[in-house]
Structure 1
Amino acid sequence: MSTPRQGPGGRRRGAGRRPRFAIAVTVVFFALLYLPVAVVVLFSFNGQKSLTVLHGTSLRWYTALLHDDVLLGSLGMSLKVSLVAMAGSILLGVALALGLVRSRSRLGSLAGLVMLVPLVTPEIVTGVAAMLLYKGLGITLSATTVTLAEITFSISYVTVILRSRIAALNPEVEEAAMDLGATRAQALRLVTLPALLPGILASAVLVFALVFDDFVLAYFTTGVDPQPLSVRIYSAIRFGVQPTVNAVGTLMLAGSVGLIVLALAIPRLFGRRGGLDLLSGK
């Protein structure tokens, strides 16, 4: 039986060695990924109107953002579109996930495959297709067209998340509720949906973040005014980057991080609460 070779000082070669190359690659990766974001955040507090020279700290660009009616209007539109798209995609996604899991026909399997198409289709293809559809039907591009396109694109994310959750549920619980006198609709409302609530809330947070930050689909389906915030920022950058854009980007980053933390905390919160309820006999 061979023993590990030892190096100078009695230390084993290969044992306990740090993967220096992997660590270096990881550091370079995170530096390239987050340094540009850090620069945006840093220059949002710049005391002077410069994107290259940092001179003092100030909140003047956040104050300027609060007095910019155009950006505030775009922010309001993005929030409205995100909320409506979140509600619509959750409603349709829950129904679609339930139908796909409980379907026993070949049509259900085919629908499951079709549902995955938006996830692998380039978003620019989806955006162009949606624009051509609206143009062909004579529909004027507006906030409504953006919302419909975002709902259509987000349904697949909700369905994928909830399908595994629904498949893991014990169908005997719902059957027991119906044996006790509940109708199928009541069993769905009182048994199935409460069990799916953590997944539904996590999906809602994810869809809101995706829609709020989306640019490609919003760019091809939006009208002239008001425009979503991501499209408005792109239009402003084409005529020169203003420090106010850094303030907007920092606020969007903070909101996205908050939504991610919320999405990660929701399942754990409900899991802990479910465990406490089980211990207390509720």
Structure 2
Amino acid sequence: MKSRLPFAVLGVFFLVLYAPVAIVVLFSFNADKSLSVFTGFSLRWYREFFSDGALTGSVATSVQVAAVAMLGSVVLGTAMAIGAMRVRGRFGSFAGFVTLIPLVTPEIVTGVASLLLFKGLGITPSLLTLMLAEITFSVSYVAVILRARLAALNPEVEEAAMDLGATRWQALRLVTFPALAPVVLASGILVFALVFDDFVLAAFTSGTDAQPLPVRIYSAMRFGIRPSINAVGTVMLAGSAVLIALALALPRLFGRRGTGLDLLSGE
């Protein structure tokens, strides 16, 4: 008989991890203002959320920032990954090491460093500085994921295309890029989800002209927690879940087996 202890530990882990999230979702449908007593189901707080111009404007700002960060990080991250794989010797190893630094650096350090950089350059924190900071932070995610995928590709396929008369650019465009397309899309979707609900960088670099949704929620909670915040959190949770599900389903959309996790891990 197998031990039940691992299953018990796993159950406790999921309970501690997801019980608070479940409570937020449940009380977003509460008919009363109470955050501790559930009195009945209602869409009152969702109506209040969608009728609040400040909150919906922050949602639009977060979507805009996440979309720009996704496009910028995908372009730069793809170029970095291909360049690092093509460079041999110590410089290639050094480039791979530098790519990993943002992933292990605490995000609050990155936020403070970005703010000091913009202040030193005389740039006022704004929506533009937030986009630049998010792109800089997200490039490493895309580059690391694509390097894993590139390492799994057979380089002889690209060499065969060049032997048949293709230039190096044509071999990249016709052979390598199509093989990378699913993982590029998957990494872009994951970057969008990460940036959309990112708070630390947004708090340091967004300024006051256009507040993204996480900063707006934090500002509102300092004056008291309203039940509509539960509705906002539930909407953000649902959006992130849809994006992650789409990233996992990408291989089947391209007619391949496996899941997006296989692509992101280079398998």
How high is the TM-score relative to the length of structure 1? 0.88
State how far apart, in whole Å, the 1-side matches of 2:92 and 2:164 are: 30
Bigger-Rg structure (1/2): 1
Q: Deviations over 1:101-146 (max 9, x none)?
A: 1111322211111111001100000000000000111101011111
Partner of 2:42: 58
8 Å CA contact 2:55, 2:216 repeated in 1: yes
Give the counterpart letter for 2:19 in structure 1. Answer: L
| Structure 1 segments of 4+ aligned residues over 6 angstroms from their partners | none
Query: Measured at CA, do residues 23 and 273 of structure 1 come closer, stay the same or move farther in structure 2, by a change above 3 Å?
Result: closer
What is the percentage of aligned positions where both structures have the same residue? 68
Aligned amino acid, residue 100 of structure 1: A
CA distance in 2, matches of 1:263, 1:35: 25
1:42-89 deviation line (CA, Å, top 9, x unaligned) = 011111122112111111111111110000111000000000000000
Question: Which letter maps to 1:248?
Answer: V
* Aligned pairs (5 A) from 1:1-282: 16-17=1-2, 19-270=3-254, 272=256
CA–CA distance in structure 2, aligned partners of residues 26 and 169 of structure 1: 36
Q: Distance in 2 between matches of 1:31 and 1:232?
A: 29
After superposing the two structures, state which structure 1 stretch, 27-36 or 72-81, moved more.
27-36
1:58, 1:86 → 2: CA distance?
Answer: 35
**Contact persistence 1:154–1:207 (CA under 8 A):** yes
Question: What is the Cα deviation at residue 148 of structure 1?
Answer: 0.5
Question: TM-score, normalising length from structure 2?
Answer: 0.93
- Amino acid corresponding to residue 81 of structure 1 in structure 2: V
Contiguous gaps of at least 5 residues in structure 2: 259-267
Could you tell me how far 1:175 is from its partner in structure 2?
Answer: 2.1
* CA contact 2:32–2:39 (8 Å) conserved in 1: yes
CA contact (8 A) 2:251 2:257 kept: no
**1:202–1:267 contact (8 Å) kept in structure 2:** no
SS at match of 1:116: helix
Alignment coverage as a number of residue pairs: 258
Q: Which amino acid aligns with 1:148?
A: L
Query: Whole-Å Cα distance in 1 between the matches of residues 255 and 17 of structure 2?
Result: 33
Give the Cα–Cα distance (whole angstroms) in 1 for the partners of residues 209 and 6 of structure 2.
Answer: 49
Question: What is the CA–CA distance in structure 2 between the aligned matches of 1:90 and 1:242, rounded to whole Å?
Answer: 37
What is the identity, as a one-letter code, of the residue corresponding to 2:149? R
CA distance in 1, matches of 2:255, 2:143: 21
Q: Secondary structure at the match of 2:71?
A: helix
Amino acid at match of 1:208: F
CA deviation after TM superposition for structure 1 residue 39, in Å: 0.7
Cα deviation, residue 90, structure 1: 0.3
| C-alpha RMSD of matched pairs (Å) | 1.5
How far does residue 271 in structure 1 lie from its aligned partner after superposition? 5.3
**Tell me, what secondary structure is at the counterpart of 1:159?**
helix
